[in-house]
Amino acid sequence: MSTLNPFYSIGTYTSGPYTVHIGFTSRSAGNLGLHVNAGEPHTATLKNRADVQSLCGSAPFLYLNQVHGADIVCADHILTTQISPNDECGAYTLKRADQLREQAPQADAAYSTTGQPLAIMVADCIPLVFVGEKSTPHDVPIIAVAHAGRPGLLAGVIQRTVATMREQGATQIHAWLGPSICGSCYEVPEDMREHAIQQIPETYAQTSQGTPALDLPAGAIALLNKLKVEVSTDLAACTYESTSLFSHRGFMNRGEAPGRIAGLVWVTKPS
């Protein structure tokens, strides 16, 4: 694992002449969620997004209005002016923040066949980044992101994302799991665990104190293996255990500052 500031972890994947960049931000990147009251104006969140974009050297990332579901959207026809963190005058304003929050597609996954940079936000749920190779080596690889918390995992967001990528022509798909809460820390009521393991037995877990828990990453890996997707956990970590990552449970249980990290994917090609 390579650790860079403001990234918690970052990696690359080569597909023909293209380099696909996969990154997961850390607390030092700041809060990236416009739906989060992080104790600072949303203009600061816009600046955080712009700073991350500048560091990546990419076009603006598409952020979603995530609702713990399984819907996926295509990012190919979304204009840069629709998702840029600054307005037409280059300013970060509350009006612009409201526009982005209202216009963000309501979905928990997104894909692009043209290399549109994509983002997915989490603070304990699993951020997944996907790369799908095309049969023609010089084609732009298909990229995707997905937000898999407990509801989304059970609703089939992973299966939906993989199926959509294959419908778009992906012949070989690779997936990276980013930082999320681990099975030793994700304590849940017994009935919630029972409901989850009826669908995905691999999610069964216990906390370090022996109480009921769910291992969402184990469940995600099991699903991806069944779908014959190559899986990497090299960029993952536990959000609740790491002080470098935002954690919703850390906020609720320990009074930590709230916020959202992002899983990011963007594509470059040598000039």
Encode pLDDT of 70-79 as tens digits. Answer: 999 999 998 8
The pLDDT, as a whole number, for residue 137 is 73
Dig out the tokens for 33 from the structure. 């969620």
User: Cα 89 to the chain's mean position, in Å?
Assistant: 29
User: For residue 109, which of 56, 162, 188 has the smallest C-alpha distance?
Assistant: 162
Q: What is the pLDDT of residues 59-72, one digit of tens each?
A: 999 999 999 999 99
Query: How much is the pLDDT for 90?
Result: 83
User: Strand pairing of 172-177 and 230-232?
Assistant: parallel
| CB-CB neighbours of 82 under 10 Å | 13
Residue 97 CB contacts under 8 Å (≥ 6 apart), including other chains: 34, 42, 43, 45, 46
Tokens of 99: 């526009």
Instruction: Confirm if 220 and 128 have CB atoms less than 8 A apart.
Output: yes
Return the bridge partners of 11, or none.
22
Residue with tokens 């665990």: 193
Spans of the chain below 70 pLDDT: 1-4, 271
Predicted local distance difference test score (pLDDT) of residue 271: 66
Q: Full-prediction pTM beyond 0.75?
A: yes
Give pLDDT, residue 81.
Answer: 80
Q: What CATH architecture does domain 7-268 belong to?
A: 4-Layer Sandwich (3.60)
